[in-house]
């Protein structure tokens, strides 16, 4: 499902990407390669891994660690590190600063697993300085890199597995607007 319209005179399309790397992998591949889209900015919720993050904070995903096998399809002779496009990242930081929003920039985790059998899984990522966990950005960043296009992930913290803090579905639906306001200033 998608919508196209204008915002302050600029054409903007808003599309659902589905859940997980396979879903966003299909959508972003087609948008970049079949429809000539130059910039994709993913917005969504994330769980805090860093104890410095709190409900409602914005995270700008500079890099996307992953437990997914998605990057292996590119046949790299090593481990590919999916990262955001710097021009979009720079614009997002400037927009967050201008708007006065509380934000963090850094590595996020794109996981294929929502419920894990390893109770220490997120603690291991935390030790490596990873800020938050979500399920799509690594696939998006891989596809953008391969297509020579731009991608960025903007997240709002919806919960913290370490503290038990969590938002309601209604709060996620109505109050997570800061990442959207940042995204609308990009590109």
DSSP state of 56: T
Contact call for residues 129 and 157 (beta carbons, < 8 A): no
Q: 55 is written with which tokens?
A: 């409900």
Contact call for residues 38 and 151 (beta carbons, < 8 A): no
The kind and range of the H/E element at 173 are helix 169-174
Rounded Cα distance, 87 and 187, in Å: 8
Contact call for residues 20 and 69 (beta carbons, < 8 A): no
**Of 52, 57, 118, 159, which one is the catalytic site residue?**
159
Asked if 159 is an active-site residue, the reply is yes
- What does the longest C-alpha to C-alpha distance in the chain come to? 49
Report which of 152, 185, 37 is spatially closest to residue 28, judged by C-alpha positions.
37
List the catalytic residues.
159
């Amino acid at each position: 499902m998608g919508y196209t319209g204008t915002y302050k005179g600029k054409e903007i399309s808003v599309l659902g990407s589905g859940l997980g790397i396979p879903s966003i992998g299909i959508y972003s591949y087609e948008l970049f390669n079949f429809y000539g889209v130059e910039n994709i900015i993913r917005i969504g919720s994330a769980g805090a891994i860093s104890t410095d993050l709190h409900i409602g904070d914005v995270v700008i995903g500079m890099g996307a660690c992953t437990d997914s096998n998605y990057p292996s399809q590119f046949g790299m002779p090593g481990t590919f590190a999916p990262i955001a496009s710097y021009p979009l990242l720079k614009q997002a930081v400037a927009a967050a600063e201008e708007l006065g929003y509380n934000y963090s920039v850094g590595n996020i985790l794109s996981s294929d697993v929502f419920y894990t059998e390893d109770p220490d899984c997120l603690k291991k990522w935390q030790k490596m300085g990873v800020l938050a966990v979500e399920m799509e950005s690594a696939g998006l960043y891989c596809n953008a890199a391969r297509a020579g296009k731009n991608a960025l992930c903007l997240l709002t913290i919806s919960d913290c597995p370490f503290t038990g803090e969590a938002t309601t579905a209604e709060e996620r639906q109505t109050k997570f607007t800061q990442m959207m306001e940042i995204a609308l200033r990009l590109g």
